[in-house]
A and B are shown apart, each in its own frame.
Chain A
Amino acid sequence: MPAPLSFAGTPASVGYAEGPLFSLDRSAGAYVAKGSEKGERAALEAALAGASARLESLIGEAADDAAEMLEFQLAMLQDEALTGPAFAAIEEGAQADDAWGACLEDEIAGYETAEDGYFRARAADLKDIRDQVLHHLTPHGAAALPAGAIAFGDDMAPTRFLEIDWSQGGGIALSAGSAASHVAMLARARGVPMVVGLGVGLETNGDPVLLDGENGRLVLDPSDQEREAFRARSAAFAERRASAEGYLGRPAATACGTAVRVMVNIADPSEVDRIDASHCDGVGLMRTEFLFGGARGLPEEETQYEAYRRVLSWAGDRPVTIRTVDAGGDKPVSGLTQAESNPFLGLRGVRLSLARPDVFRVQIRALLRAGAHGSLKVMLPMVSVPEEVARARALFAEEAARLEAEGVAHAVPPLGIMVEVPSVAVMPESFLDAAFFSIGSNDLTQYVMAAARDNASVAALSAASQPAVLRLIAELARFAAARGMPLSLCGDAGGDPTIIPLLLKAGLRELSVAPAQLALAKAAIATTAL
């Protein structure tokens, strides 16, 4: 019996899936030549109409930001200047699929070589448009992911995710991709198991494979033992999740009765629609990078204000902590971040915001205005020295004075900091001016351990359970308790049932977790005895 072929990747969405591997990179079926110019022309026209109709229906269902990206794609697709060369090629004898592919290849190349980063980023939209039409040209179309199949490819477009019916199970295995990507967030929100960074190209043949989204593994040709072990882990996970549901509606407390506050981490404001606010103690981290991505360029004040206000109104009296834009590192934003040889150690987080006050002030104004509508707290990412907090605070004061003069309703929120750079973790006494501390365990771990969080080959080093990381967290907890500094943790470790007991023993009493991990986190807290 051959040994199972097993590949390690990074878990991007927990859960287990068993099913055939389905390639995202190839069309479901080969293109069937129509045998005549008229036939080829009709095939392309039908595929263009099909792709347009699909985009229109996605626009109807999408959130504002996604809808704008899709509208751009639709306008391009319906432009004869885009489709004309393909029809001309068909007239000269080409097949519809070749004509369309070549026509888009030229267009994509034009964008890829653009000097302006904004225009360069549109190449991805053009590729998405190309693939949508190609899928409509083949017999089984784009929505042909078989029920329960595991989608495999380099990366996956969010539009592709949205059109797949995940109700029959299935999962996502990507050779590249990122746990921080838009599609990974969608997968977590829908509970679709996903592993990224597998680093392999695979042939797909319809044999069932095993996808372990909890431990980040993909197994091809599993042995019987491997399959049994997988099913046991899957069943145990399902049981944990089911029993955890019972904890959702109750305030979190340890086995010995110590209360723990559990908040949620969100990004897109629409995420709150799927969360019962009474199941959590507020929002411990609202990321704002989401607003800065996509086809729309940098977000204007009004867009940001509406997004923040929507989350505050959902939360009611519960506190909402919004993090100022944490661009840079693994989250490039065109028009804001710059290419750097070592972006994790570069101009990112508050460093970038302070370097671009034109962009930062817009966000500050939106936050100040939103502050009038709920219990808002604002936190600065990547703080390294006290001066950064002072400079940000001064900008908040200046914009507040301006709003005051304009007679615009606003409120100055408490300004806290992320503790993720070791310089803050070892000298917290220098940051007593901050209103609160929130440990960003992902970055703190990668900086303490000098192990990149996006590099699968050093994943074991980049773990918050490393004793050096846990000691720093315990010292921060002691410091915070002695000085009355509110302290929480909002990294992935906070939602990891195996690490939660360690964090509680280190003294933390407030965790912020992904919405899908809320129940499991509360269950893990309830079974921890301090």
Chain B
Amino acid sequence: MTATAEATVLITHEVGLHARPSVKFTKLAKRFPAEVEVALDQGGPWFDAKSIVKVMAAKAPQGTLLHLRASGERAAEAVDALVGLVQRDFDEGKGHARSA
């Protein structure tokens, strides 16, 4: 039995799924055993969410509706976590303070 999960989230981050957000996004995706994919269009093409090369190749700017789908162990958890990261603008707003 394979669990599957899907979600759609609006990218509100001002530069979109760009270099630094993509590093965070793929790092988070890799923490889950499930196969996770993203697409700009429900009909595809779908990109491996654990590959920064593929995620960057999606070239998703601000205002893009990002589709996510996952299958396998902890699929729902993976999708929830990634949706949360996108909704929080990749944790780059307040609280992104770094030590000087």
The residues in B between 17 and 31 inclusive whose CB is less than 8 angstroms from any CB of A are: 18-20, 22-23, 26-27
Which residues of chain B come closer than 8 Å to A69, judged between CB atoms? 19
Question: B53 and A300: CB pair below 8 A?
Answer: no
Residue numbers in A under 8 Å from B14 (CB-CB): 297-298, 335
In the complex, what residue of chain A is closest to B99 when comparing beta carbons?
A306
| Contact status A306-B97, CB under 8 Å | yes
- What A residues does B22 contact at CB under 8 A? 72, 75
Name A119's contact: one of B26, B51, B59 (CB within 8 Å): B59
- B92 contacts A118, C-beta separation under 8 Å: no
A118: contacting residue among B15, B27, B93, CB under 8 A: B15
Interface-facing stretch out of A78-86, A249-257, A423-431: A78-86
A527 to B97, CA, bound (A): 46
Q: Could you mark each residue 497-519 of chain A with 1 if its beta carbon is under 8 Å from any beta carbon of chain B, else 0?
A: 00000000000000000000000
Known contacts A75-B52, A110-B57, A295-B20; decide if A269 and B100 are in contact (CB<8 Å). yes
Q: Is the CB of B54 within 8 A of A81?
A: yes
What is the distance, in angstroms, from A126's C-beta to the closest C-beta of chain B? 10
Of the four ranges (under 10, 10 to 19, 20 to 34, 35 or more), the interface on chain B belongs to 20 to 34
What is the distance, in angstroms, from B20's C-beta to the closest C-beta of chain A? 5
Say yes or no: B61 contacts A116, CB within 8 Å: yes
Pick the 6 closest A-B CB pairs, nearest first: A297-B15, A81-B53, A295-B19, A81-B51, A310-B100, A72-B19
Q: Identify 30 residue pairs between A and B in the complex whose beta-carbon atoms are under 8 Å apart, listed by A's number.
A: A69-B19, A72-B20, A72-B23, A72-B52, A75-B23, A75-B27, A76-B52, A79-B53, A81-B52, A81-B53, A81-B54, A116-B16, A118-B15, A118-B61, A119-B18, A296-B19, A297-B14, A297-B19, A297-B20, A298-B14, A298-B15, A302-B94, A302-B97, A303-B96, A305-B97, A306-B97, A309-B100, A310-B100, A313-B100, A335-B15
Main SS class of interface, A: helix
Across the interface, A81 reaches (CB within 8 A) one of B20, B48, B61, B96, namely B48
Contact residues of A between 97 and 150, Cβ < 8 Å to B: 107, 110, 114-116, 118-119, 122, 125
Smallest CB separation, A152 vs chain B (Å) = 30
A71-B23, A118-B18 known; A301 and B94 CB under 8 Å? Answer: yes
A388 sits at the interface (CB 8 A): no
Residues of A within 8 A of B92 (CB): 300
**Inter-chain CB contacts under 8 Å: number:** 80
Quick one: CB contact mask for A285-315 with B, threshold 8 Å, 1 for yes?
A: 0000000000111101111011101100100
Say yes or no for B95: interface residue by CB 8 A criterion: yes
B56 at the interface (CB under 8 A from A): yes
Bound CA span A118–B56, Å:
11
- For B18, B19, B61, the residue with the greatest tally of chain A CB atoms inside 10 Å of its CB is B19
* Chain B CB within 10 Å, residue with most, of A71, A75, A309: A75
Q: Assuming the A-B contacts A116-B61, A119-B18, A306-B100, are A300 and B52 also in contact, with contact meaning beta carbons closer than 8 angstroms in the complex?
A: no
The answer to whether the Cβ of A276 comes within 8 Å of any Cβ in the partner chain is no
Q: Is A68 an interface residue (CB 8 A)?
A: yes
What are the residues of chain B within 8 A of A110 when measuring CB–CB? 57
A64 touches B16 (CB 8 A): no
Complex Cα spacing A127 to B54, Å: 17
Instruction: Tell me the smallest distance from the CB of A175 to a CB of chain B, in Å.
Output: 28
Contact mask for chain B residues 68-100; partner A; CB cutoff 8 A; 1 contact, 0 none: 000000000000000000000000111111101
Q: Which residues of A contact B57 (CB under 8 A)?
A: 110
Asked if A303 contacts B98 (CB within 8 A), the reply is yes
Give A119's nearest chain B residue, CB to CB.
B59
Distance, CA A115 to CA B16, complexed state (A): 13
Could you say which residues of chain A place their CB within 8 Å of the CB of B15?
Answer: 118, 297-298, 335
Q: Which residue of A lies closest to B54 (CB)?
A: A81
Contact mask for chain A residues 305-342; partner B; CB cutoff 8 A; 1 contact, 0 none: 11101100100000000000000000000010000000
Q: How far is the CA of A107 from the CA of B52 in the complex (A)?
A: 13
